Amino acid sequence: MSEKKSEEVDGADEEHGKNGGGISRFRTALPQVLASTAKNLILLELGMTIAFPTIVIPALHNVAEQLSLDDDQASWLGSLSFIFQPIGSILSGMVLEPLGRKRSMIVVNIPQLAGWLLLYWADSVTLLYTAAIIMGMGVGFMEAPIITYVGEISQPHLRGILTSYAGICAQLGFVLEFFLGTVTDWRTAAIISAVVPIITALAITQVPETPIWLLSRGRKEQAEKSLCWLRGWVSPSAVRKEFQELVHYHDIARKKWDRRKASRISETLSPEEEARIRAAAGVERHRGSQHFPVPIFPDKKEPEPDPELVLAVEMQGCCGPDRACTRRMEDFFSPSTMKPLLLVVTLFFFQHAAVVSGLRPYLVEVVRDFGMPIDAHWGTVYSPSTDLPPFLLADTFIIKEPGHSFSGEQSYGRLIVFLLKTHKHNHQRHR
């Protein structure tokens, strides 16, 4: 009787998981928002890191103190983090798969913490440069795990909102760091900022790894537990359908990937090498290998493995590490990779070249030189604050479909407003 009742409960949970009748939308969305918030603390760090040169340069530029920056040194301090950011991005892509999304997001806090402590104890320009390099690489390292994480944990109807939510946290990082630079000196701001990476790492330890990455490592049980957490702390029966779809998707993607790699490898082999590998794969299938072992019960006839998959596995083992790098380069320069990459790079180039990214390290001095009727430091606090309403507007009214982004329109709109205000102010000054 109890077993029958248990089956009825599981069946009800599964039905609720399909139609959402027993699990409220708030309960389903809450863990995804919490996980995104823990991840977005990294973006809070990102904003604070990029904003810090803005409060250091005016404090040390051409001052009569032991630690001082001339024009060239100030320019280098404002540029080094941007110069080394691509190196961090490359390293991020290399370690993302071996470490996983969660551990990568924890590791990224190490260079940020080291950079803040170096800034606090800096007594030379060299240490300032070193901190800028470390933190610039750390900013680049943030990009792959935070973008991948939100895409792999969120439901499609929440993905666009959670992505825009990340932009809000980055802007809050700018506001917070500029505010610290206004009410305290730059060393105090650095040591206060050093607390944020510690809080971020602790917060990320409380959220799960993505189910997709766990499935890619063959850890199905942990992947199912992760999905249960992310869908409202429910029982496995409530997410059974979605989990089975994830498993099915992963299996199909893996087979396609193996076949594609086998095809690319065979193109680089001579006919003699390919014939030898095919012959070896056929022999291994009959006598058993580490990938397709001999059946435990030889009397029972088992289905023959897919020959193409067998060949893919054997080729991966026979080609050696010298061709692994070549295969990765071919993947990188393939049209399916280069077309979206060039599109994104072009968008980011014009977006950052057209707005205040290059101007930001010198924003205090720019506001001061323009003679604006506000305190220059408080002006830096107001500047990123104007970005928050567009992000909130995008979250509330504009983003209806997953994948839509408002950042480009928001950036160019802010540039137009800034130029119009500057022109009006200069016109009034010269009247």
**pLDDT value, residue 21:** 47
Residues 204 and 407 sit within 8 Å (Cβ to Cβ): no
The SS3 assignment for 69 reads strand
CA distance 289 to 130: 51
Beta bridge partners of 61: 69
Q: Which long-range contacts (CB under 8 A, 24 or more apart) does 364-373 make?
A: 364/54, 364/55, 364/57, 364/58, 365/57, 365/58, 365/61, 368/58, 370/422, 370/425, 370/426, 371/429, 372/425
Nearest to 30, CA basis, from 209, 235, 229? 229
Locate the domains of the chain by residue range. 24-229+333-429, 253-332
HSE, CB side, 13 Å, CA atoms: give it for residue 183: 7
Can you give the pLDDT of all 431 residues of the chain as single tens digits? 444 444 443 444 444 444 444 688 899 999 999 999 999 999 999 999 998 998 898 889 888 888 899 989 998 998 898 899 989 888 888 888 889 999 999 999 999 999 999 999 999 999 999 999 999 999 999 888 888 899 899 998 888 788 878 888 888 999 899 899 889 999 999 999 999 999 999 999 999 999 999 998 889 999 999 999 999 999 999 999 999 988 888 788 777 666 665 565 555 555 665 565 555 545 444 433 444 343 433 444 444 444 444 444 444 444 444 455 566 677 777 788 788 888 878 877 776 676 666 677 777 777 777 776 777 777 777 776 666 666 566 555 544 444 444 445 455 555 555 555 555 555 555 55
- Topology of domain 24-229+333-429 in CATH is Growth Hormone; Chain: A; (1.20.1250)
The tokens describing 146, both together, are: 């935070």
Nearest CA to 59 out of 169, 190, 147 is that of: 190
